[in-house]
Amino acid sequence: MTSSQESQRPLSSVLREVPGRWVAVDRTTGEPVAVADTPYKLAAELHSRRVKNVAIVRAPDPSEPELVGLG
């Protein structure tokens, strides 16, 4: 593990803060950069701010059913 990975914030802690929402996470620091209710709103905000080098993911909501298998 490199020193940058050791100092990066765990994704799980970011996702717990924004259940059910879309979040852009800085790939270097692991910190959330922007949060929105839809991926389209998030993309529009990131584009307007010219934000780059982020990963976009939807945080699961604990009240949602969990998909365990396809059969």
CA distances from 49 to 19, 33, 34, 44, 68 (A): 23, 11, 10, 9, 37
Average pLDDT estimate for 39-47: 98
The dihedral built from the CA positions of residue 21, 54, 42 and 39, taken in this order, carries a sign that is negative
| pLDDT tens string 2-16 | 555 567 899 999 999
| pLDDT tens string 14-40 | 999 999 999 999 999 999 999 999 999
pTM: 0.81
Contact 59, 19 (CB under 8 A): yes
